[in-house]
Amino acid sequence: MNPPLSGNLQGLQHIGLPVVDLARSRAFYAGLGFYEIMTAEFQVDGQTGHVAMMERESVVLELYQMPPGHLAEIRSRGDGRIDHIAFSVADVDAAYAELKAAGLAPCEPEPVFLKFWDKGCRFFTIRGPDGERLEFNQIL
């Protein structure tokens, strides 16, 4: 039997980092040689958050600043600010179905659309054995 996502998983897509000050974090990572490849806004509870994707070599960081009402949550985290690890998939719907069939429980009732990149993306997450969030993402 083939493992789930055989032929669908394409590799690491990005590492998601919640930040308190997006401008400060952009400048910090730019100083390490990362450059911005995408920016967007997103909504949480009717408030606007901001995201910047930064890349160096084959490493992509998703720096995202939650809306003002959610910043305390980010500030209260101690060590371990990495929020999720995202993998690229060729077909997010097929990946969702395969992982459900393998007995894994996606955190979302269906893949979620975001207005990121030129045409958007769709993703869903699962939890690893220690609670880590693993995202499966298809850039459209």
The per-residue pLDDT for 94 is 94
The per-residue pLDDT for 35 is 95
Note whether 85 and 73 are within 8 A (CB): no
**Residues of the chain predicted below pLDDT 50:** none
CA distance 13 to 93: 17
- The pLDDT tens digits of the residues spanning 33-57 come to 889 999 999 999 999 999 999 998 8
CATH class of 9-139: alpha beta
Note whether 135 and 92 are within 8 A (CB): no
Q: Which long-range contacts (CB under 8 A, 24 or more apart) does 37-41 make?
A: 38/116, 38/117, 40/114, 40/115, 40/116, 40/117, 41/115
Q: What angle do CA 83, 127, 70 make, to 5 degrees?
A: 35
The pTM (predicted TM-score) of the whole model is 0.72
CA distance 106 to 112: 11
